[in-house]
Amino acid sequence: MRTSNQSPFTFPVFHSFDCLESLRLLREAPLKLIDQNCSDLLLTERVGMGCDFSKYTACCMDTEEDGHPAPEDQVDGENEDNAVEGIELPRFHEFTIDQLRRATSGFAVENIVSEHGEKAPNVVYKGRLDNQMRIAVKRFNRNAWPEAQPFLEEARAVGQLRNQRLVNLLGCCCEGDERLLVAEYMPNDTLAKHLFHWENQPMRWAMRMRVALFLAQALEYCTSKGRALYHDLNAYRVLYDDDYNPRLSCFGLMKNSRDGKSYSTNLAFTPPEYLRTGRVTPESVTYSFGTLLLDLLSGKHIPPSHALDLIRDKNLQTLSDSCLEGELTNDDGIELVRLASLCLQSEPRERPNPKSLVAALIPLQKDSEAPSHVLMGIPDGAATFPLTPLGEACLRMDLTALHEVMEKMGYKDDEGAATELSFQMWTNQMQETLDSKKKGDAAFRLKDFKTAIDGYTQFIDVGTMVSPTVYARRSLCYLMSNMADEALNDAMQAQVISPVWYIAFYLQAVALLAMGKENDAQMALKEGSLLESKRSTN
């Protein structure tokens, strides 16, 4: 076993002339390798989009106008980049605040994914559109973009990008003082979580190199589309999709405010030219990419200046991750150090461009045929969380079991239910409303689902009182009556009223299974099981 002061490989000393010579060789390397081996990797795909914390550096973008198609409208032949590996993403759409409020259950605190930014604070929420597409919604501080037009122009420009290496921007909202971005939802955490704060196993070298290549490809794509600038590129901007493929967040393609800083306050990770001029350039992005390469090599967040000192002094035992013993060859380690050193050159013009980085990273790929979830140690990408017994019953579409559970729990999950019943004699209308609910409850207990639907519908239509349990019970009645669409609508309404109620997610899952939407159903089952497990441990 290697002790903590040993390195899994040996490195040469990197002086400035070594880096410049390496850069010359890298720039002169044939680029056919990209065309031959990577053309199939530069297409497109779908999270969340996600955490936004900043610890190091990156960049920005330009603007362009676009129309306003409905979110369900699919792309046509005018933009082939919108087709992501056979999955058509909706074109960029301008949402209303009511649509996004509904999608996030009223911007419920339970749906917060991340909060970030001291000078221009913003919050990212997870949500679901009416068509069941999962989304991430970034809500800016009211003062971040005081003028609507600059925000719209920035968002529309980013919304033209479609690539499998990006978390794609689906739309925005610019209504009154509200400024929001809507992106794909990425459900499987960030690079920072998997690299720095892993729980079960460290990230394998093959996966680390896949992350590096995919990010370089994302930057190359953005550069080819005229979007070479990216703000605050760091390990929290890299998110994992359903299949555990790493994606670059589209949120970094826009600043956090019209006049916001492009880098975090941690000057140790800021490109030197930004300290001199305050301007972001494409070369600044390359510098930030170099810090990510160091992260992947070390498994730690080491300031670039310190890392370069270690490289020059051959003191690399603290730079290389001890968890990589047996996986990292001497040649691969030397090559990654060389690329990081090139990216971190003090003179911007001496840094490689994204296309050169892609060409240099392709030979470092290992186990290229293995799916990402396998490299991440996830045996089955669809079963990343064990289902509870009730979750398993819902997966089997065992409606009888679900009925028994809901009958037993009654109305204890209704917030304020006791208060509502305490003024039941105020008016005749109130009494009639409660009578219709009692009629529905009696029929629900006897499994007379048609009568139960009628009773609950009378209660809901009056609108005097709101009950997530009534919506949930009517949803199950619809499922028992083979009315999946109606059941899904009621289950979603129950979730809007009670965002962390696991029964609402289970009902959505069963309805989605009945509609043949298995992927969405799996996510609803996972969320339901997570919430149920959390409830049982509290």
Same domain for 412 and 372, yes or no, is: no
Over range 223-239, report the average pLDDT: 93
Contact 42, 362 (CB under 8 A): no
Greatest mean pLDDT among 87-91, 241-245, 353-357 lies in 353-357
Contact 185, 48 (CB under 8 A): yes
Tokens standing for residue 497: 């009223």
Q: Is the pLDDT of residue 186 over 80?
A: yes
Is 29's pLDDT higher than 60? no
The pLDDT score that the predictor gives to residue 266 is 72
- Taking a C-beta distance cutoff of 8 angstroms, is the pair 460, 470 a contact? yes
Which of 150, 167, 184 is where one domain is finished? 184
Give the residue-averaged pLDDT of 372-386.
72
Give the CA-trace dihedral at 430, 433, 438, 441, to 10 degrees: -140
Distances 128 to 136, 282, 496, 505 between C-alpha atoms, Å: 8, 34, 11, 12
- Straight-line distance from the first to the last Cα atom of the chain, in angstroms, rounded to the nearest whole number: 42
Q: Of 376, 400, 427, which marks where a domain is finished?
A: 376
Judge if 122 and 169 occupy the same domain: yes
Band (pLDDT 50/70/90 cuts) for residue 15 is very low
Q: Report residue 125 as tokens.
A: 């929420």
The pLDDT of residue 355: 96
Query: Residue 31: inside a domain, yes or no?
Result: no
> Of the residues 184, 216, 246, which one is the last residue of a structural domain?
184
Query: What is the per-residue pLDDT for 118?
Result: 58
* Angle CA 113–116–119, to nearest 5: 155
Pure H helices in 137-241: 148-158, 191-196, 205-224
Q: CA angle at residue 186 from 86 to 46, to 5 degrees?
A: 15
> Is residue 134 located within the same domain as residue 155?
yes
Q: What is the pLDDT of residue 257?
A: 76
Task: List active site positions.
Answer: 232
Q: Write the CATH number for 114.
A: 3.30.200.20
The count of domains in the chain is 3
The whole-number average pLDDT for the span 199-219 is 95
CATH code at 410? 1.25.40.10
Query: Band of the pLDDT at 434, cuts 50, 70, 90?
Result: confident
In a 3-state reduction of DSSP, which class is residue 421? helix
315 falls in which pLDDT band (50, 70, 90)?
low
| Per-residue model confidence (pLDDT) at position 427 | 55
Q: How confident is the model at residue 447 (pLDDT cuts 50, 70, 90)?
A: very high
Amino acid symbol at 77:
G
Rounded to two decimals, the pTM is 0.70
Give 256's pLDDT tier (boundaries 50, 70, 90): confident
pLDDT-derived band at 526 (thresholds 50, 70, 90) equals confident
126-166 pLDDT tens trace: 998 888 789 999 999 888 888 999 999 999 999 999 999 99
Q: How far is Cα 170 from Cα 236, in angstroms, rounded to an integer?
A: 20
Q: How many CB atoms are closer than 10 A to CB 278?
A: 10
Question: Which structural domain range is residue 301 located in?
Answer: 189-376
